Amino acid sequence: MTCGGQFQNKVALITGASRGIGRALAHTLGRGGATVVVNYKKNTDLAEKVVAGIEEVGGRGLAVQADVETVEGVHSLFARVRDEFGRLDHFVSNAAAGAFKNILDLKSHHLDRSYAMNLRPFVLGAQQAVPLMDAGGRIVALSSYGSTRAFPTYAALGSMKAAIESWVRYMALEFAPYSINVNGVSGGLIDSDSLEYFYGVPGIADRASVFDRVPKQRPGTAQEVADAITFLLSPGAEYITGQTMVVDGGLSVVAPPFFADTSAPLSLPAHPTGEK
């Protein structure tokens, strides 16, 4: 997406912006003129590369290492934003990680970690973002199709994503008087390191057969999700709050029997050309 300078003078904080969706978003907002805080946990070199890419196109970036799984990490991240800029326009809660395990194999430390990593940084982050958004602002949190659907080994993370979508609604209500919009973006199968990791879990179906079930017949790209977030951060989304936008190539609307499982005459017809 080209942003035509619409994020000029905006300060945006993205958690987990050294790779994947966060990185694509950081570059997009940078091209649009934003100052982007690129948070990461381990990959300093990748985060610095994102910042360099933003600065190459005339934007400003700041890489900030902070482990948002810890309360101290979230606090130190926002303290840095406060010290550097004294304000914030956009907060995107993007970083996530999970234990991909069957429910009977989940230990209490997996549950604690799933909450600490995936839900708490969004809520604690929003609490710290709001006082910095004295001119109004936008908050976006990343969800996934495991929030409303169930699939193997995703219970610990999917349930946190469902909670994120609920918090989006509560925050939207409570922050609307401050001119702060809160929305979610829920991705389907998106090409990224985490998708690679998921399909490496023993027993998970072959990825090609899963992509056949997606009406668009392919995984999405990090850029396609970043573009949806960019729209929600843009002036055009001023009247949208409390919603979760689904970016999944149609995956969430399909039900069996799938076209891939059917044979003629149920299989997908040729494109109608208008000829009789």
* Least separation in angstroms between CB 51 and ligand NAP: 13
* Least separation in angstroms between CB 39 and ligand NAP: 6
Catalytic residue among 154, 178, 197, 276: 154
Q: In this complex, which beta carbon is closest to ligand NAP, that of residue 20 or of residue 137?
A: 20
* Least separation in angstroms between CB 42 and ligand NAP: 4
Q: Taking a C-beta distance cutoff of 8 angstroms, is the pair 146, 165 a contact?
A: no
Can you tell me the distance from the alpha carbon of 103 to that of 217, in angstroms, rounded to the nearest whole number? Answer: 30
Please, what's the b/e burial string for 216-237 (b: 16 or more CB within 10 A of its CB; e: otherwise)? eeebbebbbbbbbbbbbbeeeb
By CB under 6 A, residue 48 contacts ligand NAP: no
Strand (E) or helix (H) holding 47: helix 44-56
* Least separation in angstroms between CB 140 and ligand NAP: 11
SS3 assignment, position 256: coil
Catalytic: 154?
yes
Among 163, 195, 240, 260, binds ligand NAP (CB under 6 A): 195
Among 11, 18, 33, 228, binds ligand NAP (CB under 6 A): 18
Radius of gyration over every alpha carbon of the chain, rounded to an integer in angstroms? 19
Q: Taking a C-beta distance cutoff of 8 angstroms, is the pair 157, 146 a contact?
A: yes
DSSP letters spanning 95-111: --------GGG--HHHH
Among 10, 19, 31, 90, binds ligand NAP (CB under 6 A): 19
Q: Which residues bind ligand NAP (CB under 6 A)?
A: 15-22, 39-43, 46, 67-69, 94-97, 117, 142, 144, 187, 189-190, 192-195, 222
